[in-house]
């Protein structure tokens, strides 16, 4: 199964957002009742907003990775992959009992794609030198 990483991250974001709605339903209701604008009144309501917003950013990240995968089988930039790895490691370090662990499968796969591409390029260079 090729090019599954973007869909994986989209699925994780959907679960993250659903979990947020279930866990923080009272906070979201309170935000709505208070008029949304400048309505954060507790640390828990601020956490609820950040939890929801992070799910949306994760969704956008999944869409972008899916786009990279679909455009001529283009690799996701290595800088994006390393930053996702850094974010994941930091998240796990700060919150080991979180869902950050779910990001390892697509990140490892994206890194393996880069390693495979490097290996293919080295083989091509060797073949070109041998042909000369």
Dihedral sign for Cα atoms in the order 59, 57, 68, 84: negative
Q: How far apart are CA 95 and CA 21, in angstroms?
A: 20
pLDDT score recorded for residue 44: 92
pTM of the model: 0.84
pLDDT score recorded for residue 127: 65
pLDDT score recorded for residue 117: 82
The total domain count for the chain is: 1
List the one residue out of 104, 114, 88, 86 whose CA is nearest residue 5: 104
pLDDT score recorded for residue 123: 66
- Write out 32-52 in H/E/C secondary structure: HHCCCCCCCCCHHHHHHHHHH
pLDDT score recorded for residue 129: 64
Which tens digit of pLDDT belongs to each residue from 62-121? 999 999 888 867 889 999 999 999 999 999 999 999 999 999 999 999 999 989 887 777
Q: How far apart are CA 108 and CA 87, in angstroms?
A: 14
Tokens 């930091």 belong to residue: 90
What percentage of the chain exceeds 70 in pLDDT? 90
pLDDT score recorded for residue 85: 97
Range of the domain at 28: 5-131
pLDDT score recorded for residue 73: 72
Which tens digit of pLDDT belongs to each residue from 18-63? 999 999 999 999 999 988 898 888 899 999 999 999 999 999 999 9
Confidence of residue 130 (pLDDT cuts 50, 70, 90): low
């Amino acid at each position: 199964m090729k090019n599954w990483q973007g869909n994986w991250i989209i699925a994780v974001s959907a679960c993250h957002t659903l979990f947020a709605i279930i866990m923080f339903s009272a906070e979201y209701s309170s935000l709505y009742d208070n008029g949304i604008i400048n309505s954060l009144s507790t640390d828990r309501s601020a956490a609820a907003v950040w939890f929801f917003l992070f799910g949306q950013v994760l969704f956008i990240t999944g869409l972008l990775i899916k786009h990279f995968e679909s455009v001529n089988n283009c690799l996701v930039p290595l800088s994006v992959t390393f930053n996702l790895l850094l974010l994941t490691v930091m998240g796990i370090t700060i919150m080991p009992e979180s869902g950050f662990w779910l990001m390892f499968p697509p990140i490892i796969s994206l890194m393996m794609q880069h390693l495979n591409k490097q290996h293919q390029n080295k083989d091509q260079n060797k073949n070109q030198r041998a042909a000369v």
